[in-house]
Amino acid sequence: MARILASVPTLGTDMFYLVDHDNVQQIRTLITSVPMVLEVETFTNLTPIMYAMLKNKKKIVNIMAGRSPSRFRDSVLLGIYMGDVSAVSTIIRSGVFEKTHETALFYGNYLTPLMYACNCNHYEMDRVLDPVRRAFKLAKSLERCKNNDPINADLYEKMAQHAGQLAIAFLNCCETDDEVSLIFKQTDGLSSDVYADLPCIRLAVDTKQKEFLSDPICLKIIKKHWMGGWNDWSIVSKEIKTYRILYHTLLYPLTSVLYVLSNGDLGSSYDYPVARFVSFVTSYLMFLLCLLVFTQHQEARNLRGPPDTTIKTFLLYYIWSYIGGMCVVLWTDMNRRRWRNLFGAWWRWFDFVQMMTYGLAYWAFHLSEALMEFQDEPYVHRIHWDPRHPTLVFEILFTCAAIMSSWRIFYFLQLQRTLGPLVVTLMLILFSMLRAMKYLYWAWYGYLDPERLEEILGKHGERAGTMFHLSLHSLGELFCATYYVVLVVSLLNVMISMMASSAGTILKRRHLEWNYVRCQVWCEFSEDIRAVPPPICLLQLAVNMPTWFCRRLCGSYGKLSMWQFQAKLKHLRVHSSIETLLHLMLSYPIPLLT
């Protein structure tokens, strides 16, 4: 055995010689008799399998790949670089990449096989069932890596762009809209997105694939799904258009109730996302009108407790029911998203704050109502009110919440082609300004207070007390003030420059950002929780909840929704068709976008 080990360097030289001369039979015999020969290296740190890959000796590579090679990570990544699909798959099957902690000599430790394959444009390496989904998740992971590893941020950015182009390349390979829709309807592995009609689009929105969502092919399919049965809008008569609009505006309270009670058999247009959007806009405008009338109609400024008129009482109950419906929808939506995207869109956290304000106002109102049951006189001049009276708290909170409700109109305006890019641009610039003010705030208040400067003075005089040296104290304050003024002014100029740069970048990407925001809103109205607007959604929940609860008791946990108990959540099991389509695409070169 010692003699064999001593001869390994010589055998290693023979191995590289045999690789150069493509002597397959002798290489197989040498590996069988001396397996350690695969661990020898050249002076350039190449193992035999790496040397064979660089020499493009595929038969020899396949012989060596069957055994777990040394320098596993380098071998896999070099095989990806050379585009040797069969060798890479054989090497990965022979070892476990995640459990190999050896340090790579030729490649950085931040690289994974999937990252490097996308970076080298070797997308044929990805043989999973749904490479589009994997590409989205990979791009999202690379974004996190970029934030956590600033040194290699540029590399992560380039690899994320390559990974994002994979999905666009697949769209360009599709010949018909049905094939594109087939990819978008893939549900395998998307447990968090089972309630969406197009799970792939929902995943693209969650992973912020803005280039993919702005692709013309993708936008075409999403718009087609958004319009639903109203795809003929441009060719139908004005009478039909008027009927459709009236059905979901003036008649929406009646038609939405019929849709809920009939479980979708009546009023099937509520299955179309655009029709749902029209109904939501109408319901929101009615809510604003109720707020306006409630705050302005026969306002009694000396009344404590509940309203004293039937109209205002009815309006207040409608307002509470609308807010209750919004709370249930927001809670269900965030629960399905595991609360991970609460700050992913401005309207989600805005609604969250708005609902919290309304909730506190509701609590103050009922506290005031309960308190007035023990008081005989509800009409008292305000100068005699207790400053902490619940009615005052209710008025303050309710006024703030009502103002916030009026601002929510921008949520609907951002879908308009004329105002949408402007609204999205203003929102992004506002966030940039808030970040700048945050930095400026800590620059001003985060430094040493001049009053805390240590003055080292002796004791002098008969009383031997510590003296206050006016000139020294004034000079210290002057120096500190000068330093802080220069610092804050400089930081302010830097912040202004950064905001101007951010505004320029945002303006250049305004259509890209607008398309992304549109897709976010479109995906929301494709889910079952927005089939009917609030407060009718409370009736929908009350009708479907008993059936959902009974099915849960019977042990049926698969794809159940408390919002629709019929087969609204069923997705056609098209895994075989999707797999056939994807493997057909993977068998041909994918034209990448440049």
Place of tokens 């505004």: 503
Which residues are within 8 A (CB) of 425 and not within 5 positions of it... i.e. 6 or more apart? 506, 507, 510, 513
Radius of gyration for the chain, computed over Cα atoms and rounded to the nearest angstrom: 34
- Closest of 436, 455, 446 to residue 497, by C-alpha: 436
- Closest of 569, 503, 560 to residue 531, by C-alpha: 569
User: What backbone torsions phi and psi does residue 118 show, to the nearest 5 degrees?
Assistant: -70, -35
| Higher per-residue pLDDT: 545 or 498 | 545
3-state secondary structure of 84: coil
Instruction: Report the pLDDT value the prediction gives residue 403, as an integer from 0 to 100.
Output: 93
Categorize the per-residue pLDDT at 193 as very low, low, confident or very high, splitting at 50, 70 and 90: very low
- Closest of 79, 39, 30 to residue 57, by C-alpha: 79
Categorize the per-residue pLDDT at 196 as very low, low, confident or very high, splitting at 50, 70 and 90: low
Instruction: Return mean pLDDT, the chain.
Output: 76
* Contact between residue 94 and residue 57 where contact means Cβ atoms under 8 Å apart: no
Categorize the per-residue pLDDT at 587 as very low, low, confident or very high, splitting at 50, 70 and 90: very low
pLDDT at 556 over 50: yes
pLDDT at 421 over 90: no
Question: What's the whole-number mean pLDDT along residues 552-575?
Answer: 51
pLDDT at 569 over 60: no
Highest mean pLDDT among 176-180, 182-186, 257-261, 388-392: 257-261
pLDDT at 585 over 50: no
| Higher per-residue pLDDT: 411 or 66 | 411
Burial readout 45-69 (b: 16 or more C-beta within 10 A, e: otherwise) = ebbbbbbbbeeebeebbbbbbeeeb
Which residues are within 8 A (CB) of 365 and not within 5 positions of it... i.e. 6 or more apart? 306, 390, 394, 398
3-state secondary structure of 363: helix
Q: Which two tokens stand for residue 509?
A: 């990407």
Kindly tell me the sign of the dihedral angle through the C-alpha atoms of 270, 273, 275, 278. Answer: positive
| Higher per-residue pLDDT: 119 or 417 | 417
Instruction: Report the pLDDT value the prediction gives residue 451, as an integer from 0 to 100.
Output: 56
For the full predicted model, state whether its pTM sits above 0.85: no
- Closest of 219, 229, 343 to residue 276, by C-alpha: 229
